[in-house]
Amino acid sequence: MRVAGIDCGTNSIRLLIADVEEGKPLSDVVRRMEVARLGQGVDRTGQFNPDSLKRTLAFVDDYAEECRKHGVESIRFAATSATRDASNRQIFLDGVRERLGVEVQVLSGEEEARASFEGATSVLAPNTEEPYLTVDLGGGSTEFVLGKADGTILQAASMNVGCVRMRERHMVSDPATEAEIAAARADVQAAIDGTGIDLSSARTLIGLAGTITTVTAKVLGLDKYDPAKIHSARMPLADVDAACQWFIHATMEERGALGFMHPGRVDVISAGALVWQEIIRRVSAETAAKMPLTHTVTSEHDILDGMALWAAREPNAPRL
């Protein structure tokens, strides 16, 4: 069966067209990512900006054409943090329906977390130690799932902290001032406190999404973005912490000069790196008394794969 998953978050919109055969991993046909910044300003105004809506729906038009061209039989479209928060979300939902002929799944934070976990763990190495803690760090929110290899989810939570939200709320200077950094750290720490996740139980910390894959590229010293090298990368905590620290204090010019850096992430990656650093430091501290965390694992597979798997499990025929 040929399916498509679409994930529209605060910062980016992504498409996965894949073939699904029972008992086998997804076989990618098309994988695309564009920075639409749908959630620009939503944290402050509570509404979608007309220009953001126009940009995002133009990409939906492109994705509809891709789905037509490749004979997609089922589509699942996820909208997450920005859409949850926007009071004028119906304009966006109607626009997607007109273009694809399917309803948007506006996922709750917990539903988003579960879809991310399914996507990430569908391709993990078999010797990965459980329980896993997956962290999907997006533009407007970050999702945590503590779970096991058989798909059992022990805990799931979402916090309204992400790279775009922290950039707009705190880290507005270039580079961020010490006062801005301190305010952002306090915000992230309070949000982690509110998740209720038992971080001390994690045996493997798995990071997902663009901020984390970009930090991974920095740790690996890549000249250009290479998903094959980034996926399943195991990195010592100290190396990841140092890369995050570099992003936090680098200028936009320095960040933009990196060969692997997507232009749409240049302004928000410092805030995202700070969020990831705070999460790693907290998980490291919480696990120290049981079995100290020594490394992180990065996955190129996340909610997008989860949506494609959902499209196969519960077919949702488009009208293209």
| CATH code at position 72 | 3.30.420.40
Amino acid identity at 300:
E
Q: What pLDDT shows up at residue 56?
A: 96
**Is residue 178 located within the same domain as residue 91?**
no
Q: Which residue has the tokens 């959630």?
A: 39
Q: Is 197 within the bounds of a domain?
A: yes
305: helix, strand or coil:
helix
**Is residue 39 located within the same domain as residue 179?**
no
For residue 156 the two structure tokens come to 């799931």
**Is residue 94 located within the same domain as residue 134?**
no
**Is residue 103 located within the same domain as residue 189?**
no
Q: Is 275 within the bounds of a domain?
A: yes
Alpha helices in the chain (DSSP H): 42-45, 50-69, 81-85, 89-100, 109-121, 163-169, 178-193, 210-220, 227-230, 237-249, 252-256, 269-287, 303-313
**Is residue 140 located within the same domain as residue 244?**
yes
DSSP state of 223: S
Mean pLDDT of 10-22: 93
Q: What pLDDT shows up at residue 122?
A: 79
Assess contact for 145 and 113: CB atoms under 8 A. yes
Q: What pLDDT shows up at residue 128?
A: 86
**Is residue 131 located within the same domain as residue 179?**
yes
**Is residue 185 located within the same domain as residue 273?**
yes
Q: Does the bond joining 175 to the residue before it have cis omega, within 30 degrees of 0? A: yes
pTM above 0.75, yes or no: yes
- Asked if the model's pLDDT at residue 125 lies above 80, the reply is no
pLDDT band at 114 (very low <50, low <70, confident <90, very high): confident
Q: Is 61 within the bounds of a domain?
A: yes
Which helix (DSSP H) or strand (DSSP E) does residue 78 occupy?
strand 74-79
Q: How far is residue 255's CA from residue 275's CA, in Å, rounded to a whole number?
A: 17
Q: What pLDDT shows up at residue 85?
A: 87
Q: CA of 245: how far to CAs of 14, 193, 267, 269, 296, in Å?
A: 28, 22, 15, 11, 16
**Is residue 261 located within the same domain as residue 309?**
no
**Is residue 241 located within the same domain as residue 143?**
yes
Q: Is 319 within the bounds of a domain?
A: no
Which domain, by its residues, includes 26? 2-108+303-313
Amino acid identity at 133:
L
Assess contact for 213 and 300: CB atoms under 8 A. yes
29: helix, strand or coil:
strand
- Asked if the model's pLDDT at residue 108 lies above 90, the reply is no
DSSP state of 236: E
Q: What pLDDT shows up at residue 229?
A: 96
**Is residue 222 located within the same domain as residue 130?**
yes
* Tally of helices (H runs) and strands (E runs) in the chain: 13, 11
- Asked if the model's pLDDT at residue 28 lies above 80, the reply is yes
**CATH number for position 159:** 3.30.420.150
pLDDT tens per residue across span 290-314: 889 999 999 998 889 989 999 999 9
Mean pLDDT of 70-95: 93
Q: What pLDDT shows up at residue 126?
A: 76
Q: What pLDDT shows up at residue 115?
A: 86
Q: Which residue has the tokens 């133009």?
A: 58
Q: CA of 22: how far to CAs of 1, 121, 124, 126, 308, in Å?
A: 9, 16, 17, 19, 13
Q: Is 130 within the bounds of a domain?
A: yes
Domain count, the chain: 2
pLDDT band at 318 (very low <50, low <70, confident <90, very high): very high
Of the ranges 28-32, 106-110, 197-201, which one carries the lowest mean pLDDT score? 106-110
DSSP state of 195: T
State what percent of residues in the chain have pLDDT above 90: 80
**Is residue 72 located within the same domain as residue 25?**
yes
pLDDT tens per residue across span 150-171: 889 999 999 999 999 999 999 9
- Asked if the model's pLDDT at residue 23 lies above 80, the reply is no
pLDDT band at 25 (very low <50, low <70, confident <90, very high): confident
299: helix, strand or coil:
strand
Q: Is 284 within the bounds of a domain?
A: yes
Burial profile 162-171: b = 16 or more Cβ within 10 angstroms, e = fewer: bbbbbbbbbb
**Is residue 93 located within the same domain as residue 201?**
no
Q: Is 320 within the bounds of a domain?
A: no
Which tops the pLDDT comparison, 124 or 46?
46
Task: Measure the CA dihedral 181/184/143/294, to 10°.
Answer: 40
Instruction: Report the chain's mean pLDDT, rounded to a whole number.
Output: 93
